[in-house]
Structure 1
């Protein structure tokens, strides 16, 4: 595989572009920017949907208190006791 350049002492302007698709840089920047913004919009919508689902699941105050007790447990034994009490 050769670059086709035999000597590097010639003018670089005479050689031309060393990469494919010269002149399309701005198009690629725009495509990248649109993709980046689009990803953020999609991620924002998905996270809001997940947040709303979690919020609905904790509307019941008893479930919320049980979840808070489980998350506050410092040891596995405390967590198991809190979990068994929440099932009763």
Structure 2
């Protein structure tokens, strides 16, 4: 049985303006880890990063499902998902 808690899907914008999507149960701590160069390999070479989107879920599975689906989108679709569509 899974503990009740907070589970987050988050999107970072890297210094090169690319996106990195991930899952965590502590957004602030995870962003700090990425910026310390100890996060994902992808963000190590593209820091510093800033968190531009967070969505909360009841279960880890829900958050990770959204993370996977988000990673399949084009950049334009990702911007629309995050509500940043400029068109």
TM-score normalized by the length of structure 2 = 0.24
Q: Which has the higher strand share?
A: 2
Larger Rg: 1
**Of Structure 1 and Structure 2, which has the larger fraction of its residues in helix?**
1
Question: Could you state the TM-score of these two structures normalised by the residue count of structure 1?
Answer: 0.24
